Structure formats: structure tokens, C-alpha cells
């Protein structure tokens, strides 16, 4: 599975497994939800 | 610098340079956003030179309708805040709280046609809590104000923005410092 890209300053690369896990843990989703939710 | 009243139709180079050097917001750095990225980290944004900052992200697009979120340094805890918002289709005000969150979740919005984030950050590089305030268009259809605090005494130098879903492409993140004197 291809993971999302991460950008650090001018460097763009695919996320590592650990970075992807942190992104998911932050509540990031692949699909759109237009209702603001509590965090 | 004291306010000066000009009496001549021509500004001297000295006056012009003085006023340019003493603007209220001072450019710190800019970062062009790449293609289809889900997080963008801007390093060396905050320092002891300024206490408070304005960060603007515009002219980009998103792969889907989303909120734009902001994380300070690598801190992924102790974010608190409140979003007050309304949907343009109804005259109703709603709210959403952030209680011990992992980031500031409501800092801007984007979809395939627009992208906007304009936040004021207070004391991110001081050894005290960092406060944030935004006035923005969230998820395309919601308009609101988010105010919050990251409640640690960490002295941050970097921040990361990310969409709540999908990816961001293009545009520029610009960081300004608020001149102290």
C-alpha cells in the first residue's frame, strides 16, 4: 500500500510506517467529513 | 518608532528605509507546498527574535474538502481550545471543543478550488504555553473562530500543517514575526 507523502521544508517523500501511524492517530482520514468535531 | 507626519511630497531614502525596517509584521520565511502532501513541516520558523507570529497559507488546493490543522514542533498532546462556527446555509451557531487534543484541529480550510489558513500564534518560542487564534472558512461550508492553547512550556522552533483528510498541493506558507520594538 502506498502511504501519503510528507514534506519537511523542501524535501517531499513517502511517509514511513511510524509517520503514517502518527498521522492516523491525529485523526487524519482519507475521506471527507464536513462537520467539525471535538478532538 | 514614533509616528511621523510627512510634510514633503517626496520621501527621503532615510525615511523610507526606516519605515521598511520598522514594519509591524516582519517577514521570517516562506515555504512552497509540494504536490499531494499530507503533512508540511516548516523548520526554523520561531526564534527569540519575535514573541508572536502570523502564519498564512494560501493559493493551494486540496484533494478533498478538509480542515487545515496545525501542530507545534513534535508535540502531540496538551492542545485545548474551542471552535465557534456556523454553516452558511443556516443562521445557527455551533461549537466543537478540543480537550487534550493532539494538535490544533481547526486552523483553516481547503477543497479543490481554494485553500486558506491565517493564524496568530502567541509565544511559541517562549517557555510558556502557546496560544492560537484563527478566523477562517472550515471544510468549505463552515465559517468560524477557533481559539486555543498548547499547554506545555516547550520552546518550539517548527510547526507542521496537515489537512484533516486527503492531501494538499501547492500554494505558499508565509511566516511573519511581530516586531517587538
Question: What is the pLDDT at residue B94?
Answer: 94
Which residues of chain A are within 8 Å of residue B94 when distances are taken between CB atoms?
Answer: 36
> Does residue B1 surpass a pLDDT of 60?
no
Instruction: Map out the domains of chain B with their CATH numbers.
Output: 25-178 (2.60.120)
Q: What is the pLDDT of residues B107-152, one digit of tens each?
A: 999 999 999 999 999 999 999 999 999 988 887 788 999 999 999 9
Confidence category of residue A32, pLDDT binned at 50, 70, 90: low
Residue B103: which residues within 8 A CB-CB, separation 6 or more? A26, A39, B69, B70, B71, B76, B79, B162
- Between CA B20 and CA A38 the distance in angstroms is 43
The reply to whether residue A39 touches residue B142, judged by beta carbons under 8 angstroms, is no
Residue of A nearest to B65 (CA): A32
CA distance B25 to chain A (A): 22
Check residue A33 and give its pLDDT.
58
A9 to A13, A20, B29, B181: CA distances (angstroms): 11, 18, 11, 30
Sign of CA dihedral A32, B170, B144, B69: positive
Q: pTM for the full model?
A: 0.89
Amino acid at each position: 500500500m502506498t502511504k501519503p507523502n510528507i514534506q519537511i521544508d523542501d524535501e517531499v517523500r513517502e511517509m514511513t510506517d511510524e509517520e503514517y501511524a502518527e498521522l492516523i492517530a491525529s485523526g487524519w482520514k482519507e475521506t471527507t467529513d464536513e462537520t467539525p468535531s471535538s478532538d | 518608532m514614533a509616528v511621523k507626519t510627512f510634510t514633503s511630497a517626496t520621501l527621503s531614502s532615510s525615511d523610507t528605509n526606516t519605515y521598511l525596517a520598522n514594519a509591524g509584521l516582519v517577514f521570517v520565511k516562506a515555504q512552497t507546498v509540494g504536490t499531494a502532501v499530507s503533512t508540511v513541516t516548516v523548520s526554523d520558523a520561531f526564534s527569540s527574535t519575535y514573541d508572536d507570529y502570523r502564519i498564512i497559507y494560501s493559493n493551494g488546493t486540496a484533494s478533498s474538502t478538509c480542515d487545515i490543522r496545525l501542530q507545534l514542533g513534535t508535540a502531540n498532546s496538551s492542545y485545548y481550545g474551542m471552535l465557534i462556527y456556523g454553516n452558511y446555509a443556516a443562521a445557527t451557531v455551533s461549537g466543537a471543543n478540543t480537550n487534550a487534543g493532539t494538535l490544533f484541529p481547526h486552523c483553516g480550510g481547503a477543497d479543490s478550488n481554494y485553500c486558506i489558513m491565517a493564524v496568530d500564534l502567541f509565544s511559541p518560542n517562549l517557555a510558556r504555553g502557546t496560544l492560537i487564534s484563527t478566523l477562517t472558512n472550515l471544510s468549505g461550508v463552515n465559517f468560524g473562530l477557533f481559539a486555543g492553547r498548547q499547554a506545555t512550556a516547550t520552546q518550539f522552533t517548527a510547526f507542521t500543517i496537515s489537512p484533516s483528510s486527503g492531501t494538499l498541493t501547492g500554494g505558499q506558507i508565509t511566516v511573519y514575526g511581530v516586531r517587538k520594538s
